[in-house]
Amino acid sequence: MPLELLPRDLEPYRRGNAGIDWVHRFDSGRPGPHVLVNALTHGNEFCGMVAATHLLDEGIRPRIGTLTVSFANVEAYRSFDPARPFDSRQLVHNLNRIWSDAWLDGAEDSPELRRARELRPVVAAADHVLDLHSTAQDVQPFWVYPAYARNGSAALAIGRPAVHLVMPQGLGSGTPLIQHGLHGTEAHHGVALVAECGQHFRRETGALAIEVALDFLAHFGLIGRDRPAASAPAQRFELLQTWVVQDPSFRFVRPLVGFETFDEGELIATDGAREVRAPCARCTVLMPTRAPIVGREGVYLARPID
Ligand SMILES: [Zn+2]
Cα–ligand 1 centroid distance for 270 (angstroms): 24
Determine the Cα–Cα distance for residues 141 and 163; give it in Å rounded to an integer: 7
Instruction: Give the pLDDT score at 298.
Output: 96
Distance of CA 47 to the CA centre of its chain: 11
100-106 LR contacts (CB < 8 Å, sep 24+): 100/174, 100/175, 103/174, 103/175
Q: What is the mean pLDDT of residues 202-213?
A: 98
Determine the Cα–Cα distance for residues 51 and 117; give it in Å rounded to an integer: 24
Name the pTM for this structure.
0.96
Q: Where are the beta strands (DSSP E) in 73-183?
A: 128-135, 142-146, 163-167
Q: State the average pLDDT for the chain.
A: 96
Computed on alpha carbons and rounded to an integer, the radius of gyration of the chain in Å comes to 19
Cα–ligand 1 centroid distance for 197 (angstroms): 10
Determine the Cα–Cα distance for residues 263 and 156; give it in Å rounded to an integer: 28
Cα–ligand 1 centroid distance for 76 (angstroms): 12
What letter represents residue 233's amino acid?
P
Cα–ligand 1 centroid distance for 158 (angstroms): 20
Confidence tier at 233 by pLDDT (50, 70, 90): confident
Q: Is the pLDDT of residue 229 over 80?
A: no
Q: For residue range 62-94, list pLDDT tens digits in order.
A: 999 999 999 999 999 999 999 999 999 999 999
**Is residue 162 classed exposed, middle or buried when 0-12, 13-18 and 19+ CB atoms within 10 A define those classes?**
middle
Determine the Cα–Cα distance for residues 141 and 192; give it in Å rounded to an integer: 17
Cα–ligand 1 centroid distance for 98 (angstroms): 13
Determine the Cα–Cα distance for residues 299 and 289; give it in Å rounded to an integer: 6
Cα–ligand 1 centroid distance for 96 (angstroms): 7
Q: What is the mean pLDDT of residues 115-135?
A: 98
Cα–ligand 1 centroid distance for 42 (angstroms): 5
DSSP β-bridge partners for residue 23:
70
In 3D space, the residue among 127, 118, 140, 31 whose CA is nearest the CA of residue 73 turns out to be 118
Cα–ligand 1 centroid distance for 148 (angstroms): 21
**Left (φ > 0), alpha (ψ -120 to 50) or beta: where does 75 sit?**
alpha
Cα–ligand 1 centroid distance for 132 (angstroms): 8
Determine the Cα–Cα distance for residues 239 and 196; give it in Å rounded to an integer: 15
Q: For residue range 3-46, list pLDDT tens digits in order.
A: 999 999 999 999 999 999 999 999 999 999 999 999 999 999 99
Cα–ligand 1 centroid distance for 162 (angstroms): 18
Cα–ligand 1 centroid distance for 29 (angstroms): 33
Instruction: Give the pLDDT score at 232.
Output: 79
Determine the Cα–Cα distance for residues 194 and 135; give it in Å rounded to an integer: 12
Determine the Cα–Cα distance for residues 23 and 87; give it in Å rounded to an integer: 24
Cα–ligand 1 centroid distance for 30 (angstroms): 33
Cα–ligand 1 centroid distance for 94 (angstroms): 9
Cα–ligand 1 centroid distance for 34 (angstroms): 23
Q: What is the mean pLDDT of residues 269-292?
A: 97
Q: Which helix (H) or strand (E) holds 111?
A: helix 111-125
Determine the Cα–Cα distance for residues 96 and 115; give it in Å rounded to an integer: 11
Cα–ligand 1 centroid distance for 201 (angstroms): 13
Give me the helix-helix angle, 46-57 and 203-219, nearest 10°. 60
Q: Is the pLDDT of residue 231 over 90?
A: no
Cα–ligand 1 centroid distance for 130 (angstroms): 12
Cα–ligand 1 centroid distance for 196 (angstroms): 7
Residue 170 per-residue DSSP state: B
Cα–ligand 1 centroid distance for 125 (angstroms): 22
Q: Where are the beta strands (DSSP E) in the chain?
A: 23-27, 34-39, 66-71, 128-135, 142-146, 163-167, 192-199, 235-244, 251-252, 261-262, 267-271, 274-277, 283-286, 297-305
